[in-house]
């Protein structure tokens, strides 16, 4: 007799195994932070054996949370709400740690618009439950500033925004892009600037984005060159470009950066 996996799924029992897998990923994250590249870009490049090990751990964790979301959705509203509260912290930690790896895989395939076209359902659901339960602060608090060095980026889709900004830079630089594509790309880049500045202002992004070899810093080099060539307009400047050019972002990891 074949028993469905869903019938034997025991979230409480399996959560301990999940914690072990997450602990490995936390080590992986710290290791590549020390290497100056960050775990997102290391996984994206798949250059090390540890990157291949992460593929296996990621599959185990994703299976668990896909099953968990399915189980909660099948429960009566009151019981489901209790489950969501109990597993909210672990689910949010998983989403913020693992979704960037899915984003890396997605863009490595040459695809675009992950948020609208490629984002798995269980991430959307976990984020919705978090938003329904947690009240988002309107600004940074002292605790977030003090702990920012070890924090995860709050928006688990951050790297998708970075990848789209890379695409916009390529379109802006290409002589083959239409006027419409350039205008759209310019708008997207300004929106991305505002998005990043808001995250930094609220201490809601990991300082790992400023590691020398990160995709974000590679984007900045591309964007800085576009600005230098006045492709964004004559003498283009903005709060984020000023902050990046004068290296004020280096204060961020210590919680000393103030953005008005």
pLDDT in tens, the chain (260 residues): 343 444 455 666 677 788 888 999 999 999 999 888 899 999 998 877 777 789 989 999 999 999 999 988 888 777 767 777 788 899 999 999 999 999 999 999 999 999 999 999 999 999 999 998 876 555 667 888 888 988 999 999 999 999 999 999 999 999 999 999 999 999 999 999 999 999 999 999 999 999 999 999 999 999 999 999 999 999 999 999 999 999 999 999 999 999 98
Identify whether residues 209 and 110 lie together within a single domain: no
Identify whether residues 130 and 171 lie together within a single domain: no
Confidence (pTM): 0.91
Q: Is residue 144 part of a domain?
A: no
Distance (Å, rounded) from C-alpha 218 to C-alpha 36? Answer: 13
Identify whether residues 183 and 125 lie together within a single domain: no
> How many other β-carbons are positioned within 10 Å of the β-carbon of residue 254?
12
Identify whether residues 27 and 73 lie together within a single domain: yes
* Parent domain of 28: 11-135
Distance (Å, rounded) from C-alpha 73 to C-alpha 242? Answer: 46
- The full 3-state SS of 29-97, as one line of letters, equals HHHHHHCCCCHHHHHHHCCCHHHHHHHHHHHHHHHHHHHHHHHHHHCCHHHHHHHHHHHHHHHHHHHHH
Q: Is residue 200 part of a domain?
A: yes
Q: Is residue 65 part of a domain?
A: yes
Distance (Å, rounded) from C-alpha 9 to C-alpha 67? Answer: 8
Q: Is residue 146 part of a domain?
A: no
Contacts of 121 (CB under 8 A, 6+ apart): 69
């Amino acid at each position: 007799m074949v028993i469905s996996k869903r019938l034997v799924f025991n979230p409480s029992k399996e959560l301990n195994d999940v914690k072990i897998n997450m602990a490995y990923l936390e080590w992986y994250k710290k290791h590549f932070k020390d290497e100056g590249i960050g775990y997102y870009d290391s996984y994206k490049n798949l250059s090390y054996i540890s990157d291949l090990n992460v593929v296996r751990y990621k599959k185990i964790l994703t299976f668990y949370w896909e099953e968990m979301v399915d189980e909660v959705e099948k429960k009566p509203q009151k019981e489901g709400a209790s489950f969501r509260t109990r597993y909210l912290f672990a689910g949010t930690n998983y989403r913020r740690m693992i979704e960037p790896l899915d984003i890396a895989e997605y863009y490595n395939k040459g695809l675009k618009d992950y948020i609208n076209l490629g984002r798995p359902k269980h991430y959307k659901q976990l984020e919705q439950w978090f938003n329904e339960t947690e009240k988002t602060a309107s600004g940074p608090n002292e605790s977030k500033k003090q702990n920012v060095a070890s924090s995860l980026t709050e928006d688990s889709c951050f790297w998708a925004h970075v990848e789209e900004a890379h695409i916009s830079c390529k379109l802006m630089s290409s002589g083959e892009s239409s006027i419409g594509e350039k205008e759209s790309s310019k708008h997207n880049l300004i929106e991305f600037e505002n998005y990043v500045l808001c995250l930094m202002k609220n201490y809601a992004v990991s300082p790992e984005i400023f590691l020398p070899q990160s995709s974000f810093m590679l984007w900045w080099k591309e964007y800085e060159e576009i600005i230098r060539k006045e492709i964004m307009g004559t003498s283009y400047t903005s709060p984020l470009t000023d902050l990046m050019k004068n290296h004020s972002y280096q204060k961020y990891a210590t919680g000393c950066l103030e953005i008005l």
